Every structure is written in structure tokens, then in C-alpha cells.
Amino acid sequence: MVNDTTRLLGLDGLVAERVEVDAGGVPVVDLSTGCEQARCCPKCGQRAVRVKQWTTTRPRDLPVAGRPVRLRWRKRRWYCPTPACPRKSFTEQVAQVPARSRLTMRLRQAAGAAVVDGGRTIVQSARDHDVSWPVVADAFTAHANRVLPAEPQPVAVLGIDEVRRGKPHWIWDEQAGSWTVTADRWHVGFCDLSGGQGLLAQVEGRTTAAVTGWLAARSLAWRAQVEAVAIDMCSVFKAAIRQVLPHALLVVDHFHVVRLANRAVTEVRRRVTLSQHGRRGRGSDPEWRMRNRLTRSAARMSGKHVDRLADTLQALPAKIGAPILAAWNAKEDLLDLLATARTRPDRELVHRLLHRFYTRCATSELPELHRLATTIETWWPQIHAFLTTGITNAGSEGTNRVIKTVARDAYGFRNPENQRLRTHTATTRRHRGHLNPA
């Protein structure tokens, strides 16, 4: 008969006979079997009638009402009634406490769910539930495989970006007289930028074959629904998309274009400082003190700060100030062009701003600006797609930030499969409803 203590304990198939308190103040619950199905042989399914012996097990369980509880289950070992059954005898078991299990299933599930849905590390969850970390690792894998979908849902806008797995390994090459990279591992992630699924999957290696392999493994109907793909300026991703998704609109994220322009300004400033002073920039150099202001957008600065920056550059020697000012103006021309995104610009406005940028780069004698203009010309169809659609790869960049945080919390990963599974669960918690305060 099920009593109130049994209902409070919540272990189906087990009946609480009595509750004692040990010397440490921990409740000890004596259990008995209350499920008739436990008398059936797990091999042949026949109901046993002969008891072989009695045994007592002490499975560990979750705390009850915030207090740790010790379970003591006295159960029977039965003789199998079927002579031909290879299972001669068996002990009673229930769904929450399988045979030879030292933990209840809900304790295992809670430990795995703390990592999958709660954002805990393996060690943190093991410490909180007072179990070993291999147990939590197995529980995490089982829970993750249960809650993660086997196949991603169709997406309209796909984001592709890479993130480095660990640190590159270097070795000194005696013949070349330089350091050579021996291992530089990368993960390429696929994100849903329109449907909110988060990270869809990760593959090892930053190669065209790795990207095309994952995309080709999706069904033809899944690939047909992809309307646009957002990437950075990576020729590997571009070749893969053109091979597997030729119908999709390829969009370059504007963040990488801005970063490329800022890098050109920084390279010009460093080069002219080194050529004129024979050293790197110092705090006494005006151009070095304004290095951060040079990479800021003029639209985000007040008018007096922009005027002060221009006056400072013009007051410098011509061999230093003029190249930096030309690079800064070219960068601002490019930012003015990118600012027309999401405003439905007409072709004439886009052509005029692009022509102004190309003209400034062409009239200068700076190799950094020539290289920047060449890159923009190479990727102009994909940059123009950003201006017309406004699609960015911000979702992939945010996912990479979470991936790096997970790897930092775990102090690195040795097993890439475990790393991909951890990052997949961590980046899909919002989609699975575990980051919603409501």
C-alpha cells in the first residue's frame, strides 16, 4: 500500500516502510518492492515464484526537500521459472533503480541536465551531486543525445564561421631557421541566423571538403530551402557554397570589412613611424596616441574630436601625417558606403560612394590602400548583397564567443567530439527554452 512517505519520495515501484535518522542527522529510508513487474524475469518475462535469497542495496538519490537522504532497499533475488532461460536468477529492479545501479536514474539525469541545460561544467556538476566526474560525463552524453535533434530543421539564412580549437603548436625548423606550425586545429560551425536554432553542427577542419561534406549530408529539400549564406571573407567557404548551394545568395559580414579597413590604417601608421623614426611608436608620438581614435568611426565621434584628429595629422610632418590622413579618409569612405545598408539605397548612391572610395585608394601611393581596394573589388558582389539585404553573421560570432567561454571553463578539451557536443548543447539552450526567465 502506497503511503504519504512513498508519494513524497517519488520513486515509482518502491514503498517506504519507515524512516530513521542516523547519528549525523541524515534520514535513512527503508524501502521495499511494491511493483509486481519486478518479479518477472528480464530475459524471458515469466513471473517468478521461488525466492533465492534476500539482499540489501543502498542506491544514492537526490536530496529530498533540500536534505540529503540515504536509501536502504531490501529486495529479493528470484529463481527464473523457465528451465531453458539462460538467466537462472535475477534481482528485483524498477525503472528508477536498474539492476546493479548504485545511483537512481533521476540523480544521473539531474547531473547530466546540469551540464546540458544549466551551463555547469563536468567537475561542477560532479561536485554538486557528490558523484565522480566519469559518471557525470556519461550522464551528460546520454542527456545531450536525448534532447538534441538528430537532424537540424530547415533554415532560410545560414551562417558559417570558424573558431580555433585550442592553441596552435609550433616547432623550430633548423633548416629554415624559423618556427613552423605543426598543429592548428579549427572547428567550422553552421548557425541558423533566421530561425533561432542556434548552432546546428560543427565539423573538424577549416577546409572546403569539411564544409561541403556537412552540407552534402543534408537532404536535397533541406539545401533547397537555404536562401542566403553569411560568411566572412574566406575563399574556402565561398568555394564550398558555390559548389553545394549554388542557388543561395552569398553575403559577406560587414564586421570583417570594417576590421580589414582598420587594419589597413594601422599598417600605414606603423610603417610610416618605422620608416621615419627607425623604431616602433611611442607614447611621445602624436600618431601613436591617437591610434584608437583612428580606428573609430567618425559618425560615432563628436565634430570637435574629428576636427582635432584632422588638425593633429595635418600638423605632423608630411611624410607621417599625409599617409595616415589618406588611409583614414579611405576608411571613412568605406564606412559611409557600408552605412547605406538597410536603407534601401539606390544604385546611383552606391556607385557614387564606391567610386569615391576607389578613387581615393587609386590616387594614393599607399600599398595598403591598393590591397584594400583589390580585396573590396574581389568581394564586391557579396558586400553589395549585404547592402541590399542587411544580413550579418553576428549570430555566428556570438556563438563563437559562447564556444570559447565553454572551452575556457573546461580548461580545454582533449576529445574534439566531447568539445563539439558540449558547445552544441551550450549554444542551443535558448532555443530549448532554458534561458527564458519566464
pLDDT of residue 193: 94
pLDDT for the residue numbered 67: 87
Q: Which residue has the cell 515464484?
A: 49
- Using the predicted structure, report yes or no on whether residue 438 has a pLDDT greater than 60: no
Q: Which residues pair with 91 in a beta bridge?
A: 77
pLDDT of residue 8: 84
User: Tens of pLDDT along 286-298?
Assistant: 999 999 999 999 9
pLDDT at 180 over 90: no
Domain 157-253+393-427 CATH assignment equals 3.30.420? yes
**Nearest CA to 329 among 310, 302, 354, 350?**
310
Answer whether residue 436 shows pLDDT above 70.
Answer: no
pTM higher than 0.75: yes
Instruction: Give me the mean pLDDT over the 360-389 stretch.
Output: 95
Pairwise CA distance, residues 231 & 250, whole Å: 8
* CB burial readout 249-258, b (16+ within 10 A) else e: bbbbbbebbb
Residue 157, pLDDT above cutoff 80: yes
- Over range 70-74, report the average pLDDT: 94
Say if residue 164's pLDDT is above 80: yes
Confidence of residue 375 (pLDDT cuts 50, 70, 90): very high
* Mean pLDDT, all residues of the chain: 92
pLDDT per residue over 299-344, tens digit each?
A: 999 999 999 999 999 999 999 999 999 999 999 999 999 999 988 8
Q: What pLDDT is attached to residue 432?
A: 86
